[in-house]
Chains A and B, each alone.
Chain A
Amino acid sequence: MTPAALLVALVALSFVAYLTGRARSLAVVGGSRRIHDLHSLPAHYGMLTALSCALPALAVLGLWLAFQDSIIAGLVAAQLPERLRNLPPELLGLVMNDVRNVVAGSVPAESAEPEIRAAAAEYVRLQGIGRAMLTAIVLAVGIAGLLVARSRISPQLRARNAVERIVQGLLIACSLVAVLTTIGIILSVLFEAMRFFARVPWYEFLFGLTWSPQTAIRADQVGASGAFGAVPLFVGTGLIAAIAMLVAVPVGLFSAVYLAEYAHPRFRAWAKPVLEVLAGVPTVVYGFFAAITVGPFLRTWGEAIGLDVSSESALAAGLVMGVMIIPFVSSLADDMITAVPQSLRDGAYALGATKSEAIRQVVLPAALPGIVGGILLAISRAIGETMIVVMAAGLAANLTLNPFEAVTTVTVQIVTLLVGDQEFDSPKTLAAFALGLVLFVTTLALNVLALHIVRKYREQYE
């Protein structure tokens, strides 16, 4: 059976288990008239039986599917002829890729070498065996669980408590997924980055001034080593983020102040959602807009006043990114401004302040920590934003602060290093993970700081 069919079968089996458990619980006490002798409702016995049928079987299924491919690949690789088996690991990986392609049918079998074809046949055979074994084991585990649970059903069995314990365990497991994700991110990025730093020293990466990751294929070529000084990327990222914040902070703050303090409720009711549309537009759309409309516009405009604007300028990417971040700043600032107690405003009015004086000298200072937190979150978003810069900023790692020139960013380089054909082991792909580590650590620090500030501030007025 295919895994999907097996899953359906398992669902059906656990339904059968539910019915069995329920019927069995009534049978042990001798029919529904003696139902009061049972500790729990018959449905609880049914649930318990179903859970003990489904959970172990699902666990087996999941583990098997997670590791099946690597085990089969290992077995096939071990059976390859001597000539292929003794290849260096990178080339062996390529051979295994060929085998997989033949198996998947994306390469016609006739065009492959005979060894590859034989290996592919072996692969298919093992897959078939694996699938049959999987079906047998999963169904056996399911049925065994069913039978064990059924045999344990007695009037004294506290089925409800058991079910609730299991359910609560499942709930805990689900809430741990978030923690596992974080651990997964840290481990995967850190692990690959460590391998990168084993080849390129970390100080060269963090403080080097040239970035040209194109390593040559042959070791004797010119520039074979590549240069991995990431400072131009950091500067480019900072430049674009700064331009974005120059757009987003004033516009976002002023519109938040206007909407929170001045606007008629009816105007606010439609203007706020319209502004928030900007946050819902996918970033790839902004990227297209920046590359097709804003970039060429800035270029012709720059020519008109005698400026040399590159068609992939930092300015175009930064401006559009700023527009994207406006609603982010404005809705956070709006929350913070509305959270300032009315009594502070009333106090200012009582002293004769005009509305804008009350806002500038009382409300905004009171809301400042929250607003700063919001701006920090916005900066972290600007740094991590990918599609706009991939489409509108360039690939050239210029070390410059001139917004009219093309710069590149950390995220752009991660994408270019990892998209397309790649070997998993070259410093080029590993460098992407090192950049990912820097990105993750930076944004994490900004987020933690921002959330801390916002939380502190909220407590102050609650």
Chain B
Amino acid sequence: MSSMSEEGKPVRRPRTPRETQELVERSLRRRYGAERRFRAYGLCAVILGIAFVAFLFATILAQGVSVFRQAYVQLDVFYDPEVIDPSGTRREDDLRLADYEALVRTALRAEFPGIEGRRDVRQLTRLVSSGAAHELQRRVLANPGLVGQRERVWLLASADVDLLLKGEIARDEIGEEGRLSEEQLAWIDTLRERGRLELRFNRTFFVNGDSREPEQAGVRGAVMGSFFTLLLTLILSFPIGVAAAVYLEEFAPRNRWTDLIEVNINNLAAVPSIVFGLLGLAVFIGFFGLPRSAPLVGALVLTLLTLPTIIIAARAALKAVPPSIRDAALAMGASPIQTVVHHVLPLAMPGILTGTIIGMARALGETAPLLMIGMVAFIVDVPSGFTDPATALPVQIFLWSDSPERGFVERTSGAIIVLLAFLIVMNTAAVLLRRRFERRW
């Protein structure tokens, strides 16, 4: 203790007890001060860390929570047979090709009877998203009896109207390229007064695939892509991981080879994920010729990526099963495999499952390797199988965050909220599983 040795330097005359007392008290005051400061630094560090968590979540929530509501315009649409089906065949192909935008245009003009002139009409139709026509088409195809009927429907408003209603763009930003003009603002106000324009629950965000238009973009395609990828990852990595852990923990002799495998697994756990992406690109796509952008390849790469996590967790769980269980089974005449399958594995299963869920959660958030194998394409269709072109939720976040349109900032945060919700559910499941089944031997 350097401070004490300094104080203990030889002095010329012996100190009086009082002086010594003072000296000690002074040094104690200093040392206690240092103690308090040190402790305060520690507390500050912890609070700083927790503040980061709070700030991160608060920012994302504040930016993204508005995505759950979306501006819709209510219009009286007349499904004019002259427009939809002039030949009167009512055949699906004819109905599909009809000009639904004309219906939207007519309905809007009926709402504002005084508007004439190409420019004004075009400005008026810009208030409604181009997705509105698709919605009408979908309705007619689902129910051809609508033709010739009148219906009051809520249709998607355009991204600019949406942003204005949410206060994301100010009213004085008008006139800028692509923003709202004076006339449009007046119409918006009229529509709002009539109760024809409001923020409603944003169903589009959950049922649509990706889109170039922010108001029509949804996470369904990405969620399904992630789902297929993770499902296959689980199917592949769980059995392989458990089998490897069982071998290494229960059967492997201690020698150079098993040592090598162990070191290998520990190192793989720390290899940057992008390197796994390079492997996937060179081997699965380049060498085996598997399709690009497919959940199949994504799952293969993520399997290799999560295997070390699962193996390490499964080994820890197997190690926690006391040897007496094994000895008892072997003494009753069970074979080594029977011992493991009938007794050790079931007891270790909660721990293994916890590790697997955590591995899957990591795989769900993984982005970089998926970029390498081409799961970054712009894909509108919702994938329906393991070989369809797909993207994944984190990749969708990356793609949207790169888009210049302002509406996509909110979409990105919304997608992050969805991703974090999935992760929270998975991690909570892991924690509950551990609490419920954890055994102390």
Residues of chain A at the chain B interface (Cβ within 8 Å):
66-67, 69-70, 73, 104, 106, 160, 163-164, 167-168, 170-172, 174-179, 181-182, 184-185, 188-189, 191-192, 250-255, 257-259, 261-263, 271, 274-275, 277-278, 280-289, 291-293, 323, 326-327, 330, 351, 353-357, 359-361, 377, 380-381, 383-387, 390-391, 411, 414-415, 418-419, 424, 432-433, 436, 439-440, 443-444, 447-448, 451
A283 touches B365 (CB 8 A): yes
B49 touches A278 (CB 8 A): yes
Give the residue of B49, B240, B271 whose beta carbon is less than 8 angstroms from that of A440: B271
B288 touches A258 (CB 8 A): no
Q: For the complex formed, measure the closest distance between the CB of A347 and the CB atoms of chain B, giving whole angstroms.
A: 13
A178, A191, A255, A284 — which one has the most chain B CB atoms within 10 A of its CB? A178
Q: Is B308 an interface residue (CB 8 A)?
A: yes
B32 touches A354 (CB 8 A): yes
Given contacts A164-B337, A177-B307, A284-B367, contact A386 B272 (CB under 8 A): yes
Interface string of B255-279 (1 = CB under 8 A from A): 0000011011111101111111011
Give the residue of A184, A284, A291, A391 whose beta carbon is less than 8 angstroms from that of B365: A284
In the complex, 27 of the A-B residue pairs with CB atoms within 8 angstroms, ordered by the A residue number, are: A67-B288, A170-B243, A174-B239, A174-B247, A175-B252, A176-B261, A182-B268, A274-B50, A275-B50, A277-B53, A280-B365, A282-B365, A283-B365, A284-B365, A285-B397, A286-B56, A288-B412, A292-B63, A293-B59, A323-B52, A327-B49, A384-B273, A391-B398, A415-B274, A418-B372, A419-B374, A447-B271
Give the residue of A106, A192, A263, A285 whose beta carbon is less than 8 angstroms from that of B420: A285
A70 touches B420 (CB 8 A): no
Q: Which residue of A lies closest to B237 (CB)?
A: A177
A436 touches B308 (CB 8 A): no
B261 touches A178 (CB 8 A): yes
B246 touches A185 (CB 8 A): no
Given contacts A69-B288, A181-B304, A353-B1, contact A433 B282 (CB under 8 A): yes
Residues of chain B at the chain A interface (Cβ within 8 Å):
1, 31-32, 34-35, 38-39, 41-46, 48-50, 52-53, 56, 59-60, 63, 239-241, 243-244, 246-248, 251-252, 260-261, 263-268, 270-276, 278-279, 281-283, 286, 288-291, 304, 307-308, 311, 335-337, 361, 364-368, 371-372, 374, 376, 389, 394-395, 397-398, 401-402, 409, 412-413, 416, 419-420, 423, 427
B49 touches A387 (CB 8 A): no
B419 touches A285 (CB 8 A): yes
Our count of residue pairs bridging A and B at CB distance below 8 angstroms stands at 269
| Residues of the B chain whose Cβ atoms lie less than 8 Å from the Cβ of A250 | 45
Give the residue of A188, A275, A289 whose beta carbon is less than 8 angstroms from that of B282: A188
A63 to B321, CA, bound (A): 38
A386 to B274, CA, bound (A): 7
| Residues of the B chain whose Cβ atoms lie less than 8 Å from the Cβ of A361 | 1
Q: Is the interface of B mostly helix, strand, loop or mixed?
A: helix
A12 to B1, CA, bound (A): 75
The 9 closest A-B pairs by CB, nearest first: A384-B272, A258-B42, A282-B365, A254-B45, A188-B282, A174-B243, A171-B247, A175-B244, A356-B38
B46 touches A189 (CB 8 A): no
A443 touches B272 (CB 8 A): yes
A66, A182, A191, A448 — which one has the most chain B CB atoms within 10 A of its CB? A182
Q: Which residue of A lies closest to B385 (CB)?
A: A4
Q: Which residue of A lies closest to B270 (CB)?
A: A447
Q: Which residue of B lies closest to A292 (CB)?
A: B409
Give the residue of A178, A261, A354 whose beta carbon is less than 8 angstroms from that of B265: A178
Given contacts A284-B367, A436-B278, A443-B271, contact A356 B39 (CB under 8 A): yes
Give the residue of B252, B278, B394 whose beta carbon is less than 8 angstroms from that of A282: B394
| Residues of the B chain whose Cβ atoms lie less than 8 Å from the Cβ of A188 | 278-279, 282-283, 286
